[in-house]
Structure 1
Amino acid sequence: MTAALVVCASRVRADEKRIFEALERRAVPFERMDPRHLSAFAGAAGARPTVVLNREISCTRALYAAHTLEAGGATVVNSAAATRTCADKWLTSLALARAGLPVPRTALALTPEAALGALDEIGYPAVIKPLVGSWGRLVSRVPDRDVGATLLEYVAALPGPQSHVVYVQELVDKPGRDLRVAVVGGEAVGAGYRRSAQWRTNVSRGAETEYCEVTPELAKLATEAAGAVGAELCGVDLIEDAGGRPLVLEVNHGLEFAGLQRALGDRIDVAGHIAGHLLARAEQ
C-alpha cells in the first residue's frame, strides 16, 4: 500500500462507488485494495501509516484483513476488535447487554439439545439465528415446540462445531417494520424504516426503506450501541416492541446504506459523512 487512504473491498457495489465519488469530490487521494490478493508475513511492518476503510463483503476476509493490516501499523475502520464483535451475534448481544442497552430477550445454547430448553424458557414464538450471517439468511421463526425440535434436528446434522451453537431470541411483535440507523464517527447521520410483508425486514429480501427522522432519543440509542461494540462506522438495527420502545437487534460493521440513501434522498449524504470521517482519521 502506497496511499495514505485505502479502501479494502473485493467487490465494488453501489455503496463503494458512492464512497469513491465522495472521496474524489474532496480531492482525497486513495487506492483500492482487493483482499483476495492480500498476503503478509507475521511481524512485517507497513511501508507508511495508512488509514484503511474495510468494506470487504466476506466476513472472514474482513476480519483477518483487519487483524493483518493493524499488525502492519495501519488504522483500520472498523477495527479488528469491532469487526469481531459485530460479526458474531452473541458477542454483540453480550456487549449491548453489558452497556445496559435495551435488547430482545436472548440466549445462547452450546448444543441443539440445550437450545430446546432455551426456547421453552424464552417462550413461543421465538427465533433461531446463525451466530454469523447477514441479510436474514437462515433466520428461522419458531412458532411452537414441535417446530423447534424439528429445526434443531437439522441444526444437529450440520457440519462444523460452530453450527451446533444456537442463538435463540424472542420474536418481538414489531409493527411490520424495523429501523436502520447509520452511525459515522459517533454521530447518527441518518435513519430509515424498513417495511416488508414478510416478518424479516431485510432490504436484501425486498423490504422497502422509508425516511425516519433521527430524534435525540434514537440518536442516543444508536450511538451508544455503536460505542458498545467499538464501531466507528456501522448500521444499527433497531426493532420496536408492542409498546413502541426501540430495542437494539444488532450492529453491522459493514454499513450497507443503498436502501437507506434512497429513503434519505437529498437530505443526507451518507457516503459524504463516511468520506469526511476518513479524512479526519487520516489527518490525526
Structure 2
Amino acid sequence: MSVHLIVVEHRRDWPAHFPPAMVVTVQDYLATPEYQKLRDVRVLNLCRGYRYLSLGYYCSLLAEARRHRVIPAMRAITDLSAKAIYSLGAEDLDAQVHRSLSRRIAREAGRSEFEMDIYFGRCADEALQDLAEEIFELFPCPLLRVQFEHDSKWRISAIRPLALGAIPAEQQGLFVASFEAYVSRRWRSPRVRESARYDIAILHNPAEKLPPTSARGLQRFIRAGKKLDLSVDLIERKDYGRLAEYDALFIRETTAIDHHTYRFAKRAQAEGMAVLDDPDSIVKCTNKVYLHELLSANRVPVPRTRVLQKGQLEGLALDAVTYPAVVKIPDGSFSRGVHKAENREQLEQYARELLRESDLILLQEFVYTEFDWRIGVLNRQPIYACQYFMSKHHWQIVKHGADGQVTEGNARTVAVEDAPPQVVKTALAAANLIGDGFYGVDIKQSGERVVVIEVNDNPNVDPGVEDAVLGDRLYELILEDLARRLDERRAR
C-alpha cells in the first residue's frame, strides 16, 4: 500500500487542529533508514523554505533520489529559485494576469500592487481561481505567495514558496480545505491492487465535445489496467501539479502546441515518465505544413498541395487551381479550419479568413472518396483499420454546424489483415517518420491511388468503433506498450 508522508521541520509546524496525517520531521525523513527503504511513497514537503542546500531543498532532492514522489519537485524548486528563471514561465500568463487583475481591481483606482496566496492551487478570491490554478500548474509548490504589480499593465513581480507558519489566521480554514481536496482525490481513491506494477495517468477533459476517447472508452482503459496489474487514474488539467505522482501519461484530450496538453507532455517527458503523445509527436502532427514537407521529402504520397503565405494569394494563377479545392489552416483538428472552395471567389474568401490566423495556409486538391481510411499505428505496428464515412450531406467526416452542433458520419472497422495492403504500407511509412508512439494515419484511396491526408498524434479509441474487431484487447495493447516502455527504462 502507498505510504503518504507530510514532512515538516518541527512537529509543531503541523498544528493539532489540522487534519490527522502521517507527519514526520525532515531530520527523521533524511536520516532514518526505514524511510530510505520505503517504496511507493508520496511526500508533501512542507518545510519552511527550499533555498539551496537547506533542509527543505535536501528533502525534495533525496526524495527524488529514493524514487519517492514529491511536491515540490526539484524542477519546481529550481524554477522558483530566482526571478530570472521563474519570470520566463510567468510570461506565458501575462495576458491572463492582466485580464484577471483588471477585473478584480477595476474599482480600486490608483492601486499598483496586489498579493495573493495559493494553497495547492486554491486561493481565497473565486474571481482569481482560474489564475491561481494556472500559476500552480506552472509552479507546482504546495504553498505560494504571488505578488503582482501594475505599470502599463498587470504582471507577476514575484513568486515565492510560503511557509506553513506564514498562513494568515483567517485563511487557515482555506488551507485545510485545499489540503484535504488535494490529497483526497488521489490518496483516498481506490487502488487497483496494493502492488500494481505502475501508475498510469490518463489526461482527459470531461467537457470536450469530440474527445479522442469517450467516457465509456476511458472506463475500458481502467478495466484493462486492472487485468494487466496497472493502476489507471483519470486526471484533468487541474492535476498538473500532481503529474509526477505517476509513472506514465496517456493523453486522451485533443492536443495543441499552445495548450496545457503540450505542457503535460513536456513535463511528463522531463520527469522521465513514459508518455503518449510525446511532445515531439505533438509538434510534428499538429501542424499540417510540417507534415506536408516531411511526407513529401520522404516520397510518401500526399494530395497535390501548395503552401501559401500572406501576399501570395493575389499572384496565384487561375489555371494553377482545380476546383473544388481544399483550403486548410495548419493546426486544425476534427475538420475545423478546413474549407472546400468551389470557385475562385470562395477560395479567396476562405484564404483571407485563415490568413488572419496563420501566416501560412495550405491549398490542396480535393480528393473525393466515400470514406477515409484510418490506420492506428502503435510502436511501428498497425493495430486497427477503420473506415470513417462522410457526414450525411457533407463532404467531411465531421460537420460543424453554425449553431455549434456537430454531426459525424458512420464508421466501420475491419481487421488489419483485411485492409488493402497498400493502405497499411503507406500508413506505416507515414507514421514511422514521426516516431514510435501511437498515431492514426488518415488515408484516401481512389482506385489504385493512395494518399496520406494527415497523421494524428492522439487518434480515437472508442467502444463500438476502433475496438470493433479487437474488443478489450485494443485497450490492453496500448497499456501494455506503456508498461513495456517503463520496463525498458527500469532495465536501463
| TM-score of the two chains, using structure 2 as the length reference | 0.50
- Residue 237 in 1 paired to residue 442 in 2? yes
SS of structure 2 residue aligned to 1:237? strand
Q: What is the aligned partner in structure 1 of residue 378 from structure 2?
A: 184
Q: What is the aligned partner in structure 2 of residue 209 from structure 1?
A: 411
SS of structure 2 residue aligned to 1:124? coil
Deviations 1:222-281 (A, max 9, x none): 12211112251111110113x33221111111111327x436524454222212212211
Closer/same/farther in 2, CA of residues 73 and 27 from structure 1, 3 Å limit:
closer
How far apart, CA to CA, are the structure 2 residues paired with 1:206 and 1:50? 35
- The answer to whether the 8 Å contact 2:274/2:482 transfers is no
Q: What is the aligned partner in structure 1 of residue 451 from structure 2?
A: 247
- Residue 78 in 1 paired to residue 281 in 2? no
- Which of 476, 483, 486 is residue 279 of structure 1 equivalent to? 483
Q: What is the aligned partner in structure 2 of residue 64 from structure 1?
A: 263
Q: What is the aligned partner in structure 2 of residue 21 from structure 1?
A: 223
- Residue 265 in 1 paired to residue 461 in 2? no
Deviations 1:117-164 (A, max 9, x none): 5584243221011211211123110111121122234335x4xxx434
- The answer to whether the 8 Å contact 2:221/2:232 transfers is no
How far apart, CA to CA, are the structure 2 residues paired with 1:155 and 1:253? 23
How far apart, CA to CA, are the structure 1 residues paired with 2:270 and 2:380? 25
SS of structure 1 residue aligned to 2:275? strand
Shift of 1:116: 5.4
Shift of 1:188: 0.9
SS of structure 2 residue aligned to 1:200? coil
Q: For residue 137 of structure 1, what is the amino acid of its counterpart?
A: R
How far apart, CA to CA, are the structure 1 residues paired with 2:270 and 2:218? 25
How far apart, CA to CA, are the structure 2 residues paired with 1:48 and 1:264? 30
Give the CA RMSD over aligned residues: 2.7
Shift of 1:36: 3.3
How far apart, CA to CA, are the structure 1 residues paired with 2:461 and 2:315? 37
Closer/same/farther in 2, CA of residues 250 and 155 from structure 1, 3 Å limit:
closer
Deviations 1:166-224 (A, max 9, x none): 122111132x1111111122111111211224210249632111233234433222122
My pick for the range that moved more, 91-100 or 179-188, is: 91-100
Deviating above 4 A after TM superposition, structure 1's stretches of 4 or more consecutive aligned residues are 1-4, 46-49, 116-120
Closer/same/farther in 2, CA of residues 58 and 13 from structure 1, 3 Å limit:
farther
- The answer to whether the 8 Å contact 1:105/1:122 transfers is no
| TM-score of the two chains, using structure 1 as the length reference | 0.83
- Percent identical residues: 20
SS of structure 2 residue aligned to 1:134? coil
How far apart, CA to CA, are the structure 2 residues paired with 1:151 and 1:57? 24
Closer/same/farther in 2, CA of residues 49 and 152 from structure 1, 3 Å limit:
closer
How far apart, CA to CA, are the structure 1 residues paired with 2:470 and 2:250? 24
Q: What is the aligned partner in structure 1 of residue 429 from structure 2?
A: 224
SS of structure 1 residue aligned to 2:226? helix
- Which of 203, 212, 228 is residue 8 of structure 1 equivalent to? 203
Q: What is the aligned partner in structure 2 of residue 43 from structure 1?
A: none
SS of structure 1 residue aligned to 2:312? helix
SS of structure 2 residue aligned to 1:166? strand
- Which of 395, 410, 416 is residue 199 of structure 1 equivalent to? 395
Q: For residue 223 of structure 2, what is the amino acid of its counterpart?
A: E
My pick for the range that moved more, 261-270 or 127-136, is: 261-270
SS of structure 1 residue aligned to 2:336? coil
How far apart, CA to CA, are the structure 2 residues paired with 1:97 and 1:146? 29
How far apart, CA to CA, are the structure 1 residues paired with 2:317 and 2:470? 43
- The answer to whether the 8 Å contact 2:222/2:233 transfers is no
How far apart, CA to CA, are the structure 2 residues paired with 1:66 and 1:56? 12
SS of structure 2 residue aligned to 1:262? coil
- The answer to whether the 8 Å contact 2:460/2:466 transfers is no
Q: For residue 34 of structure 1, what is the amino acid of its counterpart?
A: E
- Which of 222, 242, 248 is residue 51 of structure 1 equivalent to? 248
How far apart, CA to CA, are the structure 1 residues paired with 2:388 and 2:235? 32
Closer/same/farther in 2, CA of residues 227 and 122 from structure 1, 3 Å limit:
farther
Q: What is the aligned partner in structure 1 of residue 296 from structure 2?
A: 97
Shift of 1:63: 1.7
How far apart, CA to CA, are the structure 1 residues paired with 2:421 and 2:316? 35
Gaps of 5+ in 2: 1-41, 43-68, 70-197, 207-213, 400-405
Gaps of 5+ in 1: 41-45
How far apart, CA to CA, are the structure 1 residues paired with 2:409 and 2:317? 28
Q: What is the aligned partner in structure 1 of residue 312 from structure 2?
A: 114
Q: In the comparison of the two structures, how many residue pairs are matched?
A: 271
Shift of 1:4: 4.3
